[in-house]
Chains A and B, each alone.
Chain A
Protein backbone atom coordinates (compact mmCIF):
# COMPACT_ATOMS: atom_id res chain seq x y z
CA UNK A 1 0.00 0.00 0.00
CA UNK A 2 1.17 3.55 -0.56
CA UNK A 3 3.24 4.87 2.31
CA UNK A 4 3.61 1.49 3.98
CA UNK A 5 7.29 1.30 3.35
CA UNK A 6 7.83 4.53 5.27
CA UNK A 7 7.94 4.85 9.01
CA UNK A 8 5.63 7.10 11.00
CA UNK A 9 6.21 10.77 11.71
CA UNK A 10 7.68 11.24 15.18
CA UNK A 11 6.85 14.12 17.50
CA UNK A 12 6.82 14.47 21.26
CA UNK A 13 4.37 15.87 23.76
CA UNK A 14 5.04 16.91 27.32
CA UNK A 15 3.47 15.03 30.21
CA UNK A 16 4.29 16.36 33.68
CA UNK A 17 7.50 17.85 32.34
CA UNK A 18 8.68 14.69 30.55
CA UNK A 19 8.68 13.98 26.83
CA UNK A 20 6.51 11.23 25.40
CA UNK A 21 6.96 10.10 21.82
CA UNK A 22 4.01 10.28 19.44
CA UNK A 23 3.97 8.33 16.21
CA UNK A 24 1.58 9.40 13.47
CA UNK A 25 0.91 7.75 10.12
CA UNK A 26 -1.80 7.58 7.48
CA UNK A 27 -4.77 9.71 6.63
CA UNK A 28 -8.48 9.68 7.33
CA UNK A 29 -10.31 9.88 10.66
CA UNK A 30 -8.08 9.75 13.72
CA UNK A 31 -7.52 6.49 15.56
CA UNK A 32 -5.52 6.29 18.79
CA UNK A 33 -3.65 3.22 19.98
CA UNK A 34 -2.30 2.52 23.47
CA UNK A 35 0.14 -0.40 23.36
CA UNK A 36 0.34 -3.39 25.64
CA UNK A 37 3.13 -4.82 27.80
CA UNK A 38 6.55 -3.89 26.46
CA UNK A 39 5.19 -0.86 24.63
CA UNK A 40 6.43 -0.20 21.13
CA UNK A 41 10.19 -0.41 20.77
CA UNK A 42 9.53 -0.37 17.01
CA UNK A 43 6.76 0.36 14.49
CA UNK A 44 4.53 -2.60 13.68
CA UNK A 45 2.76 -4.14 10.65
CA UNK A 46 -0.46 -3.94 12.72
CA UNK A 47 -0.15 -0.14 12.83
CA UNK A 48 0.62 0.01 9.11
CA UNK A 49 -2.57 -1.91 8.44
CA UNK A 50 -4.61 0.56 10.52
CA UNK A 51 -2.89 3.48 8.75
CA UNK A 52 -4.18 2.27 5.38
CA UNK A 53 -7.53 3.94 6.03
CA UNK A 54 -7.03 5.99 9.20
CA UNK A 55 -4.72 8.58 10.70
CA UNK A 56 -3.10 6.41 13.32
CA UNK A 57 -1.79 8.29 16.37
CA UNK A 58 0.28 6.28 18.83
CA UNK A 59 1.35 8.09 22.00
CA UNK A 60 3.90 6.37 24.18
CA UNK A 61 2.88 5.99 27.82
CA UNK A 62 5.35 7.46 30.35
CA UNK A 63 8.24 5.03 30.80
CA UNK A 64 7.40 3.05 27.68
CA UNK A 65 9.87 3.12 24.79
CA UNK A 66 9.97 6.72 23.64
CA UNK A 67 8.44 8.04 26.86
CA UNK A 68 9.76 9.17 30.21
CA UNK A 69 8.27 10.31 33.47
CA UNK A 70 6.74 7.15 34.92
CA UNK A 71 8.60 7.92 38.14
CA UNK A 72 6.26 10.87 38.71
CA UNK A 73 3.20 8.66 38.78
CA UNK A 74 2.34 7.06 42.11
CA UNK A 75 -1.33 6.19 41.95
CA UNK A 76 -3.69 4.84 39.35
CA UNK A 77 -5.33 8.26 39.20
CA UNK A 78 -1.93 9.79 38.36
CA UNK A 79 -1.64 7.35 35.47
CA UNK A 80 -5.15 7.93 34.19
CA UNK A 81 -4.55 11.67 34.19
CA UNK A 82 -1.25 11.19 32.34
CA UNK A 83 -3.13 9.22 29.68
CA UNK A 84 -5.74 11.97 29.54
CA UNK A 85 -2.96 14.49 28.86
CA UNK A 86 -1.63 12.26 26.08
CA UNK A 87 -5.06 11.99 24.52
CA UNK A 88 -5.63 15.74 24.72
CA UNK A 89 -2.20 16.79 23.52
CA UNK A 90 -2.23 14.45 20.54
CA UNK A 91 -5.63 15.64 19.38
CA UNK A 92 -7.26 12.29 20.10
CA UNK A 93 -10.08 13.66 22.28
CA UNK A 94 -13.32 12.44 20.75
CA UNK A 95 -11.60 10.00 18.38
CA UNK A 96 -11.76 6.22 18.25
CA UNK A 97 -9.44 4.60 20.76
CA UNK A 98 -7.91 1.13 20.81
CA UNK A 99 -5.81 -0.20 23.66
CA UNK A 100 -4.18 -3.52 24.37
CA UNK A 101 -3.19 -5.29 27.57
CA UNK A 102 -2.18 -2.60 30.08
CA UNK A 103 -2.88 0.07 27.45
CA UNK A 104 -6.32 -1.50 27.13
CA UNK A 105 -7.03 -0.95 30.80
CA UNK A 106 -6.19 2.74 30.37
CA UNK A 107 -8.34 3.00 27.23
CA UNK A 108 -11.25 1.59 29.25
CA UNK A 109 -10.58 4.11 32.03
CA UNK A 110 -10.66 6.95 29.49
CA UNK A 111 -14.01 5.85 28.11
CA UNK A 112 -15.45 5.39 31.61
CA UNK A 113 -14.20 8.56 33.27
CA UNK A 114 -14.13 10.92 30.28
CA UNK A 115 -16.94 9.61 28.07
CA UNK A 116 -16.71 12.54 25.67
CA UNK A 117 -13.12 11.64 24.92
CA UNK A 118 -13.75 8.29 23.25
CA UNK A 119 -16.03 7.79 20.26
CA UNK A 120 -15.76 4.05 19.79
CA UNK A 121 -13.59 1.81 21.94
CA UNK A 122 -11.63 -1.35 21.12
CA UNK A 123 -10.01 -3.33 23.93
CA UNK A 124 -7.48 -6.03 23.10
CA UNK A 125 -7.01 -8.35 26.11
CA UNK A 126 -7.15 -5.50 28.63
CA UNK A 127 -5.98 -5.80 32.22
CA UNK A 128 -7.85 -4.33 35.16
CA UNK A 129 -10.01 -7.22 36.35
CA UNK A 130 -8.98 -10.18 38.47
CA UNK A 131 -10.72 -13.49 38.96
CA UNK A 132 -9.08 -15.65 41.60
CA UNK A 133 -10.51 -18.75 39.96
CA UNK A 134 -8.62 -17.86 36.78
CA UNK A 135 -5.81 -15.57 37.85
CA UNK A 136 -3.65 -13.91 35.25
CA UNK A 137 -0.14 -15.35 34.92
CA UNK A 138 2.59 -13.12 36.33
CA UNK A 139 4.68 -11.62 33.53
CA UNK A 140 7.05 -10.11 36.12
CA UNK A 141 8.01 -13.43 37.67
CA UNK A 142 9.15 -15.46 34.70
CA UNK A 143 12.35 -17.00 33.54
CA UNK A 144 13.67 -15.31 30.43
CA UNK A 145 13.06 -18.33 28.26
CA UNK A 146 9.40 -18.62 29.31
CA UNK A 147 8.35 -15.01 28.79
CA UNK A 148 8.05 -14.91 24.96
CA UNK A 149 5.58 -17.80 24.98
CA UNK A 150 3.52 -15.99 27.57
CA UNK A 151 3.33 -12.77 25.58
CA UNK A 152 2.61 -14.21 22.15
CA UNK A 153 1.28 -17.42 20.68
CA UNK A 154 4.40 -17.33 18.51
CA UNK A 155 7.08 -16.45 21.03
CA UNK A 156 9.46 -15.27 18.33
CA UNK A 157 7.15 -12.32 17.67
CA UNK A 158 7.84 -11.03 21.17
CA UNK A 159 11.54 -11.78 20.85
CA UNK A 160 11.61 -9.78 17.62
CA UNK A 161 9.72 -6.89 19.23
CA UNK A 162 12.31 -6.41 21.97
CA UNK A 163 15.44 -7.38 20.01
CA UNK A 164 17.89 -4.51 19.66
CA UNK A 165 17.83 -3.06 16.15
CA UNK A 166 21.11 -2.74 14.32
CA UNK A 167 23.10 0.13 15.72
CA UNK A 168 21.14 0.34 18.99
CA UNK A 169 23.08 1.40 22.07
CA UNK A 170 23.94 -1.88 23.77
CA UNK A 171 23.74 -0.36 27.25
CA UNK A 172 20.67 1.82 26.82
CA UNK A 173 18.52 -0.60 24.83
CA UNK A 174 18.10 -3.22 27.58
CA UNK A 175 17.57 -0.41 30.08
CA UNK A 176 14.73 0.93 27.92
CA UNK A 177 13.16 -2.52 27.72
CA UNK A 178 13.40 -2.90 31.49
CA UNK A 179 11.99 0.59 31.95
CA UNK A 180 8.94 -0.38 29.89
CA UNK A 181 8.38 -3.36 32.15
CA UNK A 182 8.90 -1.17 35.19
CA UNK A 183 6.44 1.43 33.95
CA UNK A 184 3.77 -1.22 33.46
CA UNK A 185 4.56 -2.71 36.85
CA UNK A 186 4.46 0.70 38.49
CA UNK A 187 0.92 1.17 37.23
CA UNK A 188 -0.41 -2.38 37.60
CA UNK A 189 1.67 -4.42 40.07
CA UNK A 190 0.65 -7.09 41.02
CA UNK A 191 -1.89 -7.16 38.16
CA UNK A 192 -4.88 -7.27 40.43
CA UNK A 193 -8.23 -5.56 40.13
CA UNK A 194 -7.44 -1.88 39.61
CA UNK A 195 -10.94 -0.85 40.60
CA UNK A 196 -11.87 -0.75 36.92
CA UNK A 197 -14.71 -3.17 37.68
CA UNK A 198 -16.51 -0.34 39.47
CA UNK A 199 -16.13 1.96 36.47
CA UNK A 200 -16.81 -0.30 33.48
CA UNK A 201 -20.52 0.38 33.89
CA UNK A 202 -19.88 4.02 33.04
CA UNK A 203 -18.62 3.21 29.54
CA UNK A 204 -21.12 4.40 26.99
CA UNK A 205 -18.94 4.05 23.88
CA UNK A 206 -19.73 1.09 21.65
CA UNK A 207 -17.00 -1.35 22.62
CA UNK A 208 -15.31 -4.23 20.85
CA UNK A 209 -13.44 -6.70 23.01
CA UNK A 210 -10.77 -8.64 21.15
CA UNK A 211 -9.03 -11.62 22.69
CA UNK A 212 -6.52 -14.15 21.39
CA UNK A 213 -7.71 -17.71 21.85
CA UNK A 214 -4.18 -18.63 22.94
CA UNK A 215 -3.68 -15.86 25.49
CA UNK A 216 -1.44 -17.57 28.08
CA UNK A 217 -1.26 -14.49 30.27
CA UNK A 218 -4.88 -13.51 30.71
CA UNK A 219 -7.42 -16.21 29.84
CA UNK A 220 -9.82 -15.34 27.04
CA UNK A 221 -12.71 -16.01 29.44
CA UNK A 222 -12.04 -12.50 30.73
CA UNK A 223 -13.49 -11.17 27.47
CA UNK A 224 -17.00 -12.01 28.61
CA UNK A 225 -16.40 -10.53 32.05
CA UNK A 226 -15.57 -7.21 30.38
CA UNK A 227 -18.50 -7.45 27.98
CA UNK A 228 -20.92 -8.11 30.82
CA UNK A 229 -19.62 -5.24 32.95
CA UNK A 230 -19.63 -2.64 30.17
CA UNK A 231 -22.96 -0.90 29.69
CA UNK A 232 -22.42 0.27 26.11
CA UNK A 233 -23.17 -2.06 23.24
CA UNK A 234 -20.24 -4.44 23.46
CA UNK A 235 -19.20 -7.33 21.32
CA UNK A 236 -16.52 -10.00 21.78
CA UNK A 237 -14.31 -11.27 19.01
CA UNK A 238 -11.94 -14.16 19.69
CA UNK A 239 -8.92 -14.26 17.39
CA UNK A 240 -7.63 -17.69 16.41
CA UNK A 241 -3.91 -18.30 16.75
CA UNK A 242 -3.28 -15.18 18.82
CA UNK A 243 -1.74 -14.84 22.26
CA UNK A 244 -1.83 -11.98 24.73
CA UNK A 245 -0.34 -9.41 22.37
CA UNK A 246 -2.72 -10.44 19.63
CA UNK A 247 -1.65 -7.53 17.42
CA UNK A 248 1.80 -9.09 17.15
CA UNK A 249 0.56 -12.62 16.46
CA UNK A 250 -2.27 -11.81 14.04
CA UNK A 251 -1.84 -8.21 12.90
CA UNK A 252 -4.11 -8.51 9.87
CA UNK A 253 -7.03 -10.17 11.68
CA UNK A 254 -6.87 -7.89 14.69
CA UNK A 255 -6.57 -4.76 12.53
CA UNK A 256 -9.54 -5.87 10.44
CA UNK A 257 -11.66 -6.43 13.56
CA UNK A 258 -10.72 -3.05 15.01
CA UNK A 259 -11.31 -1.17 11.73
CA UNK A 260 -14.59 -3.00 11.23
CA UNK A 261 -15.78 -1.90 14.65
CA UNK A 262 -14.70 1.70 14.20
CA UNK A 263 -16.36 1.83 10.79
Chain B
Protein backbone atom coordinates (compact mmCIF):
# COMPACT_ATOMS: atom_id res chain seq x y z
CA UNK B 1 0.00 0.00 0.00
CA UNK B 2 1.28 3.47 -0.87
CA UNK B 3 2.32 5.71 2.02
CA UNK B 4 0.14 8.84 2.06
CA UNK B 5 0.54 12.24 3.69
CA UNK B 6 -2.45 11.41 5.91
CA UNK B 7 -0.67 8.30 7.23
CA UNK B 8 2.44 10.34 8.01
CA UNK B 9 0.50 13.09 9.83
CA UNK B 10 -1.39 10.47 11.80
CA UNK B 11 1.89 8.91 12.94
CA UNK B 12 3.73 12.10 13.74
CA UNK B 13 5.45 10.84 16.91
CA UNK B 14 6.92 7.88 15.02
CA UNK B 15 7.80 9.86 11.91
CA UNK B 16 9.55 12.71 13.74
CA UNK B 17 11.90 10.22 15.40
CA UNK B 18 12.86 8.19 12.36
CA UNK B 19 16.53 8.24 11.29
CA UNK B 20 17.00 11.22 8.98
CA UNK B 21 17.75 9.18 5.83
CA UNK B 22 14.53 7.20 6.23
CA UNK B 23 12.58 10.37 6.98
CA UNK B 24 13.99 12.09 3.89
CA UNK B 25 13.09 9.14 1.66
CA UNK B 26 9.48 9.33 2.84
CA UNK B 27 9.44 13.13 2.42
CA UNK B 28 10.76 12.78 -1.13
CA UNK B 29 7.93 10.33 -1.87
CA UNK B 30 5.34 12.78 -0.45
CA UNK B 31 6.75 15.69 -2.45
CA UNK B 32 6.80 13.63 -5.65
CA UNK B 33 3.07 12.89 -5.20
CA UNK B 34 2.22 16.49 -4.36
CA UNK B 35 4.39 18.07 -7.05
CA UNK B 36 3.01 15.74 -9.74
CA UNK B 37 -0.54 16.71 -8.76
CA UNK B 38 0.08 20.46 -9.08
CA UNK B 39 2.13 20.01 -12.24
CA UNK B 40 -0.76 18.18 -13.86
CA UNK B 41 -3.61 20.28 -12.46
CA UNK B 42 -2.30 23.82 -12.55
CA UNK B 43 -1.43 25.34 -15.97
CA UNK B 44 0.09 28.47 -14.40
CA UNK B 45 2.40 26.43 -12.19
CA UNK B 46 3.23 23.96 -14.95
CA UNK B 47 4.39 26.90 -17.08
CA UNK B 48 6.79 27.92 -14.27
CA UNK B 49 8.08 24.34 -14.12
CA UNK B 50 8.52 24.12 -17.89
CA UNK B 51 10.40 27.42 -17.89
CA UNK B 52 12.83 25.88 -15.40
CA UNK B 53 12.92 22.50 -17.13
CA UNK B 54 11.47 20.68 -14.09
CA UNK B 55 8.93 17.88 -14.28
CA UNK B 56 7.76 15.26 -11.76
CA UNK B 57 10.36 12.79 -13.05
CA UNK B 58 13.08 15.33 -12.16
CA UNK B 59 12.61 14.65 -8.45
CA UNK B 60 14.95 11.68 -8.24
CA UNK B 61 16.73 12.37 -4.98
CA UNK B 62 15.99 14.38 -1.83
CA UNK B 63 18.55 16.94 -2.97
CA UNK B 64 16.37 17.64 -6.05
CA UNK B 65 13.72 19.32 -3.88
CA UNK B 66 15.69 22.55 -4.22
CA UNK B 67 14.76 22.62 -7.93
CA UNK B 68 11.01 22.82 -7.25
CA UNK B 69 9.88 26.24 -8.57
CA UNK B 70 8.87 28.58 -5.76
CA UNK B 71 5.90 30.92 -5.65
CA UNK B 72 6.74 34.37 -4.23
CA UNK B 73 4.50 34.94 -1.20
CA UNK B 74 3.31 38.30 -2.52
CA UNK B 75 1.47 36.42 -5.33
CA UNK B 76 -1.24 35.71 -2.74
CA UNK B 77 -2.02 39.44 -2.59
CA UNK B 78 -2.54 39.80 -6.32
CA UNK B 79 -6.02 40.33 -7.77
CA UNK B 80 -5.31 37.53 -10.27
CA UNK B 81 -4.45 35.00 -7.53
CA UNK B 82 -6.98 32.60 -9.08
CA UNK B 83 -4.12 31.33 -11.27
CA UNK B 84 -2.50 29.80 -8.17
CA UNK B 85 -5.43 27.46 -7.57
CA UNK B 86 -5.01 23.82 -8.71
CA UNK B 87 -8.57 22.68 -7.94
CA UNK B 88 -12.08 23.73 -9.05
CA UNK B 89 -13.16 26.85 -7.18
CA UNK B 90 -16.31 25.13 -5.91
CA UNK B 91 -14.13 22.83 -3.80
CA UNK B 92 -12.65 25.78 -1.85
CA UNK B 93 -13.63 25.34 1.77
CA UNK B 94 -11.80 28.09 3.60
CA UNK B 95 -10.14 31.40 2.79
CA UNK B 96 -7.58 32.49 5.35
CA UNK B 97 -6.07 35.93 5.27
CA UNK B 98 -3.42 38.07 6.82
CA UNK B 99 -3.08 41.82 6.55
CA UNK B 100 0.15 43.60 7.28
CA UNK B 101 1.10 47.24 7.52
CA UNK B 102 0.55 47.72 3.77
CA UNK B 103 -3.18 47.06 4.15
CA UNK B 104 -3.56 44.69 1.20
CA UNK B 105 -4.54 41.22 2.41
CA UNK B 106 -2.81 38.02 1.48
CA UNK B 107 -5.48 35.38 0.90
CA UNK B 108 -4.78 31.62 0.93
CA UNK B 109 -7.52 29.41 -0.46
CA UNK B 110 -7.80 25.90 0.98
CA UNK B 111 -10.00 23.20 -0.46
CA UNK B 112 -11.79 20.48 1.49
CA UNK B 113 -8.84 18.08 1.39
CA UNK B 114 -6.25 20.70 2.41
CA UNK B 115 -8.41 21.97 5.26
CA UNK B 116 -8.90 18.44 6.58
CA UNK B 117 -5.20 17.64 6.35
CA UNK B 118 -4.16 20.95 7.95
CA UNK B 119 -6.65 20.60 10.82
CA UNK B 120 -5.41 17.09 11.60
CA UNK B 121 -1.78 18.14 11.23
CA UNK B 122 -2.12 21.09 13.61
CA UNK B 123 -3.92 19.00 16.22
CA UNK B 124 -1.22 16.32 15.88
CA UNK B 125 1.48 18.98 16.32
CA UNK B 126 -0.21 20.43 19.42
CA UNK B 127 -0.54 16.99 20.99
CA UNK B 128 3.06 16.11 20.09
CA UNK B 129 4.65 19.30 21.43
CA UNK B 130 2.40 20.21 24.36
CA UNK B 131 0.51 17.04 25.26
CA UNK B 132 -2.41 19.26 26.27
CA UNK B 133 -5.67 17.34 26.66
CA UNK B 134 -7.56 19.51 29.14
CA UNK B 135 -7.46 22.78 31.05
CA UNK B 136 -8.50 26.33 30.30
CA UNK B 137 -7.17 28.68 27.63
CA UNK B 138 -6.85 32.41 28.01
CA UNK B 139 -6.67 33.65 24.43
CA UNK B 140 -5.23 37.14 24.15
CA UNK B 141 -6.63 37.68 20.67
CA UNK B 142 -10.03 38.22 19.06
CA UNK B 143 -12.35 35.25 18.71
CA UNK B 144 -12.78 33.51 15.38
CA UNK B 145 -16.36 34.79 15.43
CA UNK B 146 -15.03 38.36 15.41
CA UNK B 147 -12.27 37.69 12.85
CA UNK B 148 -13.34 34.50 11.06
CA UNK B 149 -10.64 34.50 8.39
CA UNK B 150 -7.62 35.71 10.35
CA UNK B 151 -4.88 33.09 10.12
CA UNK B 152 -3.30 33.52 13.55
CA UNK B 153 -6.66 33.36 15.31
CA UNK B 154 -7.70 30.29 13.34
CA UNK B 155 -4.46 28.51 14.29
CA UNK B 156 -4.94 29.34 17.99
CA UNK B 157 -8.60 28.38 17.84
CA UNK B 158 -7.74 24.77 17.04
CA UNK B 159 -6.51 24.45 20.63
CA UNK B 160 -10.09 24.90 21.82
CA UNK B 161 -11.07 21.37 20.83
CA UNK B 162 -8.57 19.91 23.31
CA UNK B 163 -9.30 22.37 26.14
CA UNK B 164 -12.18 22.30 28.62
CA UNK B 165 -12.75 26.03 28.86
CA UNK B 166 -11.58 29.14 27.04
CA UNK B 167 -12.12 32.84 26.69
CA UNK B 168 -11.03 35.41 24.11
CA UNK B 169 -9.97 38.71 25.58
CA UNK B 170 -9.74 41.02 22.58
CA UNK B 171 -13.27 42.26 21.95
CA UNK B 172 -14.15 45.01 19.50
CA UNK B 173 -10.41 45.53 19.18
CA UNK B 174 -9.86 46.45 22.79
CA UNK B 175 -7.98 44.54 25.47
CA UNK B 176 -8.23 44.98 29.23
CA UNK B 177 -5.48 43.27 31.20
CA UNK B 178 -7.51 43.27 34.44
CA UNK B 179 -10.03 40.95 32.78
CA UNK B 180 -7.22 38.47 32.08
CA UNK B 181 -6.21 38.49 35.75
CA UNK B 182 -9.84 37.88 36.77
CA UNK B 183 -10.04 34.78 34.57
CA UNK B 184 -6.72 33.41 35.77
CA UNK B 185 -7.90 33.78 39.40
CA UNK B 186 -11.32 32.34 38.62
CA UNK B 187 -9.78 29.18 37.12
CA UNK B 188 -7.29 28.66 39.97
CA UNK B 189 -7.53 25.16 41.47
CA UNK B 190 -10.20 24.28 38.92
CA UNK B 191 -8.36 24.16 35.60
CA UNK B 192 -4.77 24.01 34.36
CA UNK B 193 -4.35 27.52 33.00
CA UNK B 194 -2.73 28.16 29.61
CA UNK B 195 -2.15 31.50 27.89
CA UNK B 196 -2.16 31.93 24.10
CA UNK B 197 -1.52 35.07 22.10
CA UNK B 198 0.83 37.26 20.10
CA UNK B 199 3.87 38.44 22.10
CA UNK B 200 2.80 42.10 22.06
CA UNK B 201 -0.46 41.35 23.90
CA UNK B 202 1.10 39.01 26.45
CA UNK B 203 3.66 41.75 26.97
CA UNK B 204 0.82 44.17 27.71
CA UNK B 205 -0.52 41.78 30.34
CA UNK B 206 2.96 41.46 31.88
CA UNK B 207 3.40 45.25 31.91
CA UNK B 208 0.10 45.62 33.72
CA UNK B 209 1.07 42.97 36.28
CA UNK B 210 4.40 44.71 36.80
CA UNK B 211 2.77 48.10 37.35
CA UNK B 212 0.11 46.72 39.65
CA UNK B 213 2.62 44.43 41.39
CA UNK B 214 0.49 41.35 40.74
CA UNK B 215 2.30 38.02 41.06
CA UNK B 216 0.48 34.82 40.14
CA UNK B 217 1.71 31.25 40.13
CA UNK B 218 0.05 29.29 37.39
CA UNK B 219 0.06 25.50 37.35
CA UNK B 220 3.06 23.15 36.96
CA UNK B 221 1.93 22.11 33.48
CA UNK B 222 0.72 25.54 32.33
CA UNK B 223 2.00 26.83 29.00
CA UNK B 224 2.40 30.26 27.47
CA UNK B 225 2.18 29.77 23.71
CA UNK B 226 2.95 32.62 21.34
CA UNK B 227 2.52 33.21 17.62
CA UNK B 228 2.64 36.36 15.53
CA UNK B 229 6.19 37.64 15.65
CA UNK B 230 8.36 39.66 17.98
CA UNK B 231 8.26 42.93 16.12
CA UNK B 232 5.61 45.49 16.97
CA UNK B 233 3.74 47.38 14.26
CA UNK B 234 5.92 50.43 14.94
CA UNK B 235 9.07 48.42 14.25
CA UNK B 236 10.07 48.06 17.91
CA UNK B 237 11.37 44.62 18.94
CA UNK B 238 10.03 42.67 21.90
CA UNK B 239 13.03 41.04 23.60
CA UNK B 240 12.52 37.31 24.07
CA UNK B 241 14.82 36.96 27.06
CA UNK B 242 13.19 39.74 29.07
CA UNK B 243 9.77 38.41 28.04
CA UNK B 244 10.55 34.92 29.38
CA UNK B 245 11.94 36.35 32.61
CA UNK B 246 8.80 38.40 33.21
CA UNK B 247 6.62 35.36 32.59
CA UNK B 248 8.54 33.44 35.23
CA UNK B 249 8.35 36.38 37.65
CA UNK B 250 4.71 37.36 37.22
CA UNK B 251 3.04 34.13 36.09
CA UNK B 252 5.32 31.53 37.67
CA UNK B 253 5.69 29.50 34.47
CA UNK B 254 8.83 27.46 33.87
CA UNK B 255 10.99 28.63 30.91
CA UNK B 256 10.60 25.28 29.12
CA UNK B 257 6.84 25.83 29.06
CA UNK B 258 7.12 29.18 27.28
CA UNK B 259 6.90 28.26 23.61
CA UNK B 260 6.86 30.30 20.45
CA UNK B 261 5.54 29.14 17.07
CA UNK B 262 6.36 30.32 13.56
CA UNK B 263 4.24 30.05 10.46
CA UNK B 264 2.52 31.97 7.71
CA UNK B 265 -1.01 31.74 6.36
CA UNK B 266 0.14 30.80 2.85
CA UNK B 267 1.65 27.57 4.15
CA UNK B 268 0.31 24.81 6.40
CA UNK B 269 3.70 24.61 8.08
CA UNK B 270 3.78 25.58 11.75
CA UNK B 271 7.19 25.30 13.41
CA UNK B 272 6.79 24.80 17.17
CA UNK B 273 9.41 25.16 19.88
CA UNK B 274 10.30 22.11 21.90
CA UNK B 275 11.35 22.34 25.55
CA UNK B 276 14.83 23.36 24.36
CA UNK B 277 13.37 26.35 22.55
CA UNK B 278 14.18 24.96 19.13
CA UNK B 279 11.55 25.52 16.47
CA UNK B 280 10.98 22.20 14.71
CA UNK B 281 9.83 22.20 11.11
CA UNK B 282 7.01 19.60 10.91
CA UNK B 283 8.68 16.42 9.65
CA UNK B 284 6.56 16.29 6.48
CA UNK B 285 7.56 19.85 5.45
CA UNK B 286 10.88 21.04 4.09
CA UNK B 287 12.51 24.42 4.56
CA UNK B 288 15.09 25.65 2.09
CA UNK B 289 17.14 28.78 2.80
CA UNK B 290 17.87 30.89 -0.28
CA UNK B 291 20.57 33.41 -1.07
CA UNK B 292 18.86 36.82 -0.96
CA UNK B 293 20.83 38.01 -4.00
CA UNK B 294 19.89 34.93 -6.05
CA UNK B 295 16.91 32.93 -4.84
CA UNK B 296 17.91 29.97 -7.02
CA UNK B 297 20.86 29.29 -4.73
CA UNK B 298 20.16 27.13 -1.70
CA UNK B 299 22.26 27.91 1.36
CA UNK B 300 23.65 25.30 3.77
CA UNK B 301 22.69 24.83 7.42
CA UNK B 302 23.44 27.83 9.68
CA UNK B 303 23.69 30.27 6.76
CA UNK B 304 21.18 33.12 6.83
CA UNK B 305 18.94 33.79 3.85
CA UNK B 306 15.35 33.99 2.62
CA UNK B 307 13.08 31.28 4.00
CA UNK B 308 11.36 29.03 1.44
CA UNK B 309 8.76 26.57 2.71
CA UNK B 310 7.74 23.40 0.85
CA UNK B 311 4.55 21.91 2.20
CA UNK B 312 3.15 18.67 0.73
CA UNK B 313 -0.18 18.99 2.57
CA UNK B 314 -1.57 21.53 0.16
CA UNK B 315 -3.91 20.27 -2.50
CA UNK B 316 -5.55 23.58 -3.44
CA UNK B 317 -2.40 25.35 -4.64
CA UNK B 318 1.31 24.53 -4.91
CA UNK B 319 2.49 25.46 -1.43
CA UNK B 320 6.11 25.91 -2.39
CA UNK B 321 6.47 29.39 -1.03
CA UNK B 322 9.34 31.85 -1.19
CA UNK B 323 8.62 34.00 1.85
CA UNK B 324 9.80 37.51 2.65
CA UNK B 325 11.26 36.30 5.94
CA UNK B 326 14.96 35.93 6.62
CA UNK B 327 16.35 33.18 8.82
CA UNK B 328 18.32 30.00 8.82
CA UNK B 329 18.20 26.28 9.42
CA UNK B 330 19.78 26.32 12.84
CA UNK B 331 20.19 22.57 13.03
CA UNK B 332 19.38 19.57 10.84
CA UNK B 333 19.51 16.25 12.65
CA UNK B 334 18.61 14.98 16.10
CA UNK B 335 17.56 17.43 18.80
CA UNK B 336 18.06 16.67 22.52
CA UNK B 337 14.24 16.41 22.67
CA UNK B 338 14.48 13.27 20.51
CA UNK B 339 12.94 14.68 17.36
CA UNK B 340 14.87 14.45 14.12
CA UNK B 341 14.81 17.02 11.34
CA UNK B 342 15.13 20.71 10.61
CA UNK B 343 15.15 23.40 13.27
CA UNK B 344 14.35 26.85 11.93
CA UNK B 345 15.22 30.26 13.22
CA UNK B 346 13.52 33.48 12.06
CA UNK B 347 15.69 36.61 12.05
CA UNK B 348 13.87 39.45 10.33
CA UNK B 349 11.83 40.51 7.31
CA UNK B 350 13.54 40.94 3.95
CA UNK B 351 14.63 44.49 3.24
CA UNK B 352 11.72 46.38 1.68
CA UNK B 353 9.10 43.83 2.78
CA UNK B 354 6.18 45.20 4.78
CA UNK B 355 5.61 44.08 8.34
CA UNK B 356 3.00 41.56 7.49
CA UNK B 357 1.06 39.44 9.92
CA UNK B 358 -2.21 39.23 11.80
CA UNK B 359 -0.63 40.34 15.09
CA UNK B 360 0.67 43.55 13.55
CA UNK B 361 -2.75 44.28 12.13
CA UNK B 362 -4.48 43.63 15.50
CA UNK B 363 -1.99 45.77 17.40
CA UNK B 364 -2.22 48.66 14.96
CA UNK B 365 -6.00 48.63 15.17
CA UNK B 366 -6.10 48.36 18.99
CA UNK B 367 -3.70 51.29 19.32
CA UNK B 368 -5.70 53.36 16.82
CA UNK B 369 -8.90 52.69 18.80
CA UNK B 370 -7.14 53.65 22.03
CA UNK B 371 -5.83 56.86 20.47
CA UNK B 372 -9.36 57.73 19.29
CA UNK B 373 -10.73 57.10 22.81
CA UNK B 374 -8.03 59.27 24.38
CA UNK B 375 -8.70 62.11 21.95
CA UNK B 376 -12.46 62.15 22.50
CA UNK B 377 -13.75 65.49 23.74
CA UNK B 378 -15.41 65.25 27.15
CA UNK B 379 -19.17 65.57 26.96
CA UNK B 380 -20.72 68.00 29.42
A and B are partners in one complex rather than unrelated chains: no
Q: Which residues of A contact B (CB under 8 A)?
A: none
Q: Which residues of B contact A (CB under 8 A)?
A: none
